[in-house]
Amino acid sequence: MIKLTKFEINNYRSCLKSNIDLNQSLMCLIGINGAGKTNILNGLLLLKKLKESYRIPGTKQKNLSGSLTEISLDFKLDEYTIKVKGTLRYETDDRNNDEVLDSILKFNFFDITGSKKWIEIPLELFKYIHEIKFKENDFILREYFKLPDLVESQINALYSIRDFFNNISYYSASQFSDPSKCPISFELDENKSYRSNRFNFHHEKFLNDLYIKYKNNKNEFNKFISTVNQEGIGIINNISFSEYDMPSSSYEVKSGGKIRKIERNRQLIIPYVTIDGVELSPNQLSEGTFKTLALIFYIITDENELLLIEEPEVCVHHGLLNSIISLISVQSKKKQIIISTHSDFVLDRLSPENLLIVTKNSQKGTVAKPLDKALSKNDYKALKSYLQETGNLGEYWKEGGLDHE
């Protein structure tokens, strides 16, 4: 399993010079409003957006607008550490989402090759990486990408890092606000793919992701249902789908007046959520039910390698939060998870090693420190012995024990 162990980001929103150690596979960001927790998660999400900036070597940059940010990453892959540093040019849209316009990434494979040289890897190579078998296609590397020969473990490392970048996912309860915006049906085209609508993108995508699991992976779908129905936390009874074929035809007229009939076979999918024996459309769910369903679905079925969860406590009844944090802990054995929280209840379920204290200072902007570095030696010792006795981490936090500077 590949792991991101260090993340540094400079000149990105409030992260002027932010260094984040990711020692555990589950890390939790805490800190006051505006400290920069969401910015750290969005900074990590830039890695997923790198693929938007793929371009063929030698072609011009998309444009020169946007802001420049520098990143530096350490990955642990088997026994190797692979370092990546780079510059990204990005633009932020009217919904405060970033698009990466352009990027330059350099890789250091010292652990694999013993060479301290940084090699610039054009991201376009990521598209072809699965075709580049050791030696057979070194032509592509040398002639097309102007890269030196890479050994097999370097190619494999690039392959894993490419997948890691692509397989980052982000959950925030705010994506699922106001379930009344959720469509009550959706359409699939002939290829069974689905077209999204930007304005209720997340609600609709959730329904579609649910449906895909229901069709393609019944085991996982059933695992999800048994987590949320009476066997588990009991917020619903079941989720089912009706499928209707919608054949339609249209005509295409060719020069000379010939007519060609085009048959289309789209499908209409209607989801139902059963609660207390009553079938409801997704837009009739309470906001907390909708958000909790989406959160649990993405925690347990998401096959991604890095899952970012913004404040899992939002809209979740405290009785259920326990189960959600347990699910997050269990899943963090399989993939890296980073959460942010304002809930002392969440902290009670974590260990000091899982915490990053986020603060903002005038020179570095957002700073994230592991607890043993954020607290003085004595304070950290005091916390450890407090926890060994009867205390819990959330209580300690509420009493101001984790405040520093």
Closer residue to Mg ion (CB): 160 or 359: 359
Closer residue to Mg ion (CB): 38 or 301: 38
Which residue is nearest to Mg ion, using beta carbons? Answer: 38
Query: Can residue 33 be called a binding residue for ligand ATP (CB under 6 A)?
Result: yes
Query: Can residue 312 be called a binding residue for ligand ATP (CB under 6 A)?
Result: no
Query: Can residue 388 be called a binding residue for ligand ATP (CB under 6 A)?
Result: no
Binding partner at 43 among Mg ion, ligand ATP, none, C-beta below 5 to 8 Å by kind: none
The C-alpha atoms of residue 225 and residue 48 are separated, in whole angstroms, by: 29
Listing from the earlier edge strand, what are the strands of the sheet with 15-21?
118-120, 98-108, 80-92, 67-77, 2-12, 15-21, 365-370, 355-361, 26-30, 336-340, 306-310, 168-172
**What is each CA distance from 39 to 11, 97, 363, in whole angstroms?**
11, 11, 17
The C-alpha atoms of residue 124 and residue 147 are separated, in whole angstroms, by: 12
**Residue 125 corresponds to which tokens in the numbers above?**
């190579």
Closer residue to ligand ATP (CB): 14 or 24: 14
Residues 64-83 that bind ligand ATP (CB under 6 A): none
- Look at the block and give the residue holding tokens 């916390």: 383
Query: Can residue 376 be called a binding residue for ligand ATP (CB under 6 A)?
Result: no
Closer residue to Mg ion (CB): 96 or 385: 96
Residue 339 near residue 173 (C-beta atoms within 8 A)? no
**Residue 48 corresponds to which tokens in the numbers above?**
């997923």
**What is each CA distance from 171 to 72, 295, 297, in whole angstroms?**
24, 7, 11
Closer residue to ligand ATP (CB): 37 or 162: 37
Closer residue to Mg ion (CB): 14 or 38: 38
In angstroms, give the least distance from the CB of 170 to Mg ion. Answer: 12
Residues 88-147 that bind ligand ATP (CB under 6 A): 92, 96
360: closest CA among 14, 89, 73?
Answer: 14
Closer residue to Mg ion (CB): 10 or 38: 38
Binding partner at 34 among ligand ATP, Mg ion, none, C-beta below 5 to 8 Å by kind: ligand ATP
Pick from 14, 38, 331, 341 the residue near Mg ion by CB under 5 A: 38
In angstroms, give the least distance from the CB of 358 to ligand ATP. Answer: 6
Query: Can residue 359 be called a binding residue for Mg ion (CB under 5 A)?
Result: no
Pick from 37, 48, 213, 349 the residue near ligand ATP by CB under 6 A: 37
Task: Tell me, by CB under 6 A, how many residues bind ligand ATP.
Answer: 12
What is the bridge-based pairing of β-strands 306-310 and 168-172?
A: parallel
Q: Which residues contact 98 (CB under 8 A, 6 or more apart)?
A: 42, 45, 46, 49, 90, 91, 92
**Alpha-carbon torsion angle 287, 170, 304, 69, nearest 10:** 180
Query: Can residue 39 be called a binding residue for ligand ATP (CB under 6 A)?
Result: yes
Residue 93 near residue 116 (C-beta atoms within 8 A)? no
Query: Can residue 31 be called a binding residue for ligand ATP (CB under 6 A)?
Result: yes
Query: Can residue 13 be called a binding residue for ligand ATP (CB under 6 A)?
Result: yes
**Residue 238 corresponds to which tokens in the numbers above?**
């079941």
Q: What are phi and psi of 191, to 5 degrees?
A: -85, 10
Query: Can residue 25 be called a binding residue for Mg ion (CB under 5 A)?
Result: no
Q: Is the dihedral of CA 272, 277, 283, 288 positive or negative?
A: negative
Stretch that binds Mg ion, among 30-38, 203-211, 299-307, 324-332 (CB under 5 A): 30-38
In angstroms, give the least distance from the CB of 29 to Mg ion. Answer: 9
Cβ count near 226 (within 10 Å): 11
Binding partner at 122 among ligand ATP, Mg ion, none, C-beta below 5 to 8 Å by kind: none
Closer residue to Mg ion (CB): 38 or 200: 38
Query: Under the rule (CB under 6 A), what is the footprint of ligand ATP?
Result: 13-14, 31, 33-39, 92, 96
